[in-house]
Chains A and B, each alone.
Chain A
Amino acid sequence: MSTQSGQPGTIFSPALAARFDKLVTLYPVKRSALVPMLLYAQDEVGYLSDPVIAEVAQRIGITELDVRNVISYYSLLRTKPAGKYNVQVCTNISCMLRGGNEILEHCKKKLGIPNKGVTPDGLFSLEEVECIGACSWAPAAQVNYDFHENLTPEKIDGVLAGYKAANRGTGK
């Protein structure tokens, strides 16, 4: 069942495929490699597409349904393409008490997209999420893997502008 890296048919880069080959050997049961594998795959592909799900299921030896069950459990994992910068705004208790909902509303207006929307240029996407573990610095938001804390509408404007600029900087 083990998939050789670089084998014809893998949809991942050779480096990632090789990493996956190793990953499944690290745990007493292959299944334990599922969540890390999904995270890496999402980073590389952008989201967990049907082919990603199929290959991950096959590599671990479980059904695609099993993979989907796990994906749907975690808000971090997504099955639709997100923007280049995925803005996740927390509205759970601590953040809600300190204005998380306002931050979310502000982002919607600013980006011109609803919750779970993607801007037409594909640069930003927006998501309302449950607690991201930054309660001490609520309200908080997460953009890709970066945390932004103690937010105010002005502050989040700066954050968004920063990503826009960074994107221009990459020349894309």
Chain B
Amino acid sequence: MADVTFTVDGKKLTAPAGTLLIEACRTHGIEIPAFCYYPGLSLQAACRMCVVRIEKVPKLQTACTTPVAENMVVTTESPEIAQARKATIELLLGNHPLDCPVCDAGGECELQDMTFKYGAHESKFVEIKQHREEQQWSPVVFFDRPRCILCYRCVRVCGEGMDVWALGIQNRGAGAVIAPNKQDHLECEECGMCIDICPVGALTSGTYRYKTRPWEMNHVGTICTHCGDGCRTTLGVRRGDDGMDIVRGDNRDKSGINGDFLCIKGRYAFDFANREDRLTKPLIRQADGKLAPVNWDQAIEFAGKKLREIRDARGGGAIGVIGSNRTTNEEAYLLQKFARTVLGTNNIDHHRTADYPAFAAALNHSIEPGAGSSGTPALAGKAEASLRDFASAKAILMLGNDPTEQHPGLAWQIRTNVRLNNARLYVANHELIKLRRQATSFLQIREGDYPALIAYLGGDDSALDGNGEAAKLREAIRGEESLLVAFGSEFRGGDVSALVRFGSLLPTVKFACLADYVNSRGAADMGLYPDLLPGYVPVGAAAHFAEEYGSALPAQPGFDLVQMFDAAERGALGALYVVGSNPIARYGVDPAALSNTFLIVQDMFLTETAQLADVVLPAANLYEKAGTVTNAFGDLQMVKKAADKAGVRTDFELIVRLAGALGADPKKLVPFGRRGVQADFGQARGAQSGEVDRHGVWLAAHHLEPKLSPFDPFAILDEIQRLVPAYNVPHFELLAGDDQHLRPGLVRIEDAGSRRDLVLPSNDTLFSSGTLGRYSQMLSSVMEARKPAETAAD
């Protein structure tokens, strides 16, 4: 739209026609106070805080609803305006309690700030304040009515933003009150959006209420450890008895790929970290068959010695390694390097939740069925979509998956895009997923019909015969000039290639392959596969890896996860090293299968797998370390160390120490201090959480080497960037906390079709998160609270 020119407080400004005055001012650094206005939500004009004087208009006007106009002359601060705002605050304070000293929002409350600014602390009201007791509406949401200033932000974000519509407003005038959908309680998605958006302390969370004061915490922006969306969450940490405890998770910093959003997991499901039953001492199985605590040296020495014996006696092929979906890229990378160079085995795998090798191959090459590795690269350069793209794309095709449950961040981006930009959303699913409510068209197909659908969309009419809805969908998609295609784990192997091939019929298309956990993508990219090195390089073509590693690598593909357990059952697996994974529960492995295998488990809790271990090493979680993770969309982001727990070590450190105990040279494993500097072992676990990251940013900004210790993940990041060109994104932006989309050309593997399909979707919901989720009290209590309601609805 054309720009208009107008004057605010004597300054000439320009903004596109149609821009709201409040936004135009904010863009130019002029802050107009607002309680009810919230960018991206419908306009409410309920609070009158934003009033300004516009020349030639008789009364004060609300800047939040007034579009800028040519030659408009505006005053945003004057005695008259200050008086009006002060009067508004006085009215708001009429029934407002004076409980700032105990209110969760105290210190970060917009009402406090405005009262401070306009000085409306003397009330003319002498009437007794209407008091109501605080109510608990759900495990997550508490409501303190007297604090509410009726800005309707919560109502709008829950309805418009979340498409849940669980909050309403009842009665009127001074008696008006926010009400939950089930009269005295809430039945909702428990996202906490309403709590975070509340400008005062009327809505508070079960997690954080009355726990601490905001200024007593450090705030660390890092990446949520749950699903594959990789939302930025800000963790509030406070010194506890044995480290830095996380007391709060929220979304103060809205610069992340999730914008305003966090789901219950990113906001509240950090509580596993503070659990009493967390492992904090290494355990070794004793002669009596019981696990008993030992000190770190004993545990590492023992595990290393056993691994060395088995490797030396039976060869690396007798050892298996299972990696994690929740460790950093550096840790996953290091694990495969350790397996391949120190243990000498390709028996390495992880719980796969999407077929990334097939996806990567499909993006690079169009392989005609049966054309094998010589297929012509007709589709070279087909791009992958970033999560950010879903917030602005004109058209989106969503195939399979249920984003509302499995990718809440993606679902938010899509809903927001549909609501604000009228994006067209096409959904095909075998279930009536909630996102269909935003869809331009929704097609329900049978569960096994996804390949047929792709064939049909590609022009094979016989594939979905006589389906009028499908015909309409195809028509609509073909009319799109650009399209994002996101698909779930319903697509694997050849189906992925077929889908990408279909995309070549469209002018501009980008794809997203959805996986389930925070670093599922990173685990795949970093080579936690028996046949693929980092970047999906086949193990048989390891030349430049061998060169970098300075040692030959095993050239034959190793055992995949299922084969490892088969081998164990046959007695052919002498040792198994499991890092941050619970295959016994996930794959329903019979514990007896491991009776002849020396088992080392590195985890936070005594999981079903850890219970069988000979050595258990207590590990730090993603909130207790630094490094990078890659979300399902290929967005590379830095995680920052927020919390700290005495007694645990990062997986990174544990791998390095274990390698040391096996007699490997840590310098070969982690290329640290190559310029001769070796120092600073303590930095990574400083008392000041986040310190190491700030240190890292400072070093990078001064072109210095931050790689000072063998436990410094950034030394490995450098190596990853050398060996996996897709990861060679600007270092500085990454360290500064900006998400960086991977570069194209991730892989050069050619044939995806022949690989065995081992994708096992986690089928997590909004309130579950694999094994980790079971250790979250908040997630458990929400599931508990919902049980009766669900049976009743059946």
Contacts and interface: CB of A to CB of B under 8 A. Distances in A.
Interface stretch (A59-67, A101-109, A114-122): A59-67
Name the residue in B169, B170, B180 with the highest tally of chain A Cβ atoms < 10 Å from its Cβ. Answer: B170
A63 B170 contact: no
B181 A73 contact: no
Question: For this complex, into which size category does the number of interface residues on chain B fall?
Answer: 10 to 19
Most buried by A among B168, B179, B180, B181: B168
B203 interface: no
B103 interface: no
A69 B169 CA distance: 6
A8 to B, nearest CB: 20
Nearest to B171: A72
7 contacts: A63-B168, A68-B168, A68-B170, A68-B183, A69-B179, A72-B172, A73-B172
Contacts of B171: 72-73
A64 B187 CA distance: 12
Nearest to B166: A65
B165 interface: yes
A13 to B, nearest CB: 27
Q: Which of A65, A68, A72 has the most CB of B within 10 A?
A: A65
A78 to B, nearest CB: 13
Given A65-B180, A66-B168, A72-B172, 7 more contacts: A64-B181, A65-B181, A68-B168, A69-B168, A69-B169, A69-B170, A73-B171
A72 B169 CA distance: 9
Contacts of B180: 65
A65 B180 CA distance: 8
Contacts of A68: 168, 170, 179, 183
Contact of A72 (B165, B166, B167, B170): B170
Interface in B292-313: none
Interface residues of A, number: 8
Contacts of A63: 165, 168, 181
A151 B778 CA distance: 59
Contacts of B183: 68
A138 B327 CA distance: 76
B686 to A, nearest CB: 49
A63 B165 CA distance: 8
A29 to B, nearest CB: 16
Contacts of A73: 170-172
A64 B181 CA distance: 7
B152 to A, nearest CB: 12
Interface in B157-192: 165-172, 179-181, 183
Contacts of A69: 168-170, 179
A49 to B, nearest CB: 13
A63 B180 CA distance: 11
> Which of A63, A64, A72, A73 neighbours the largest number of chain B CB atoms within 10 Å of its CB?
A72
A32 to B, nearest CB: 18
A112 B183 CA distance: 31
Contacts of B170: 68-69, 72-73
A128 to B, nearest CB: 13
Contacts of B168: 63, 65-66, 68-69
Interface string A66-107: 101100110000000000000000000000000000000000
A51 to B, nearest CB: 14
Nearest to A63: B165
A114 B303 CA distance: 79
A129 B179 CA distance: 23
A63 B168 CA distance: 10
Nearest to A50: B183
Contacts of A65: 165-168, 179-181
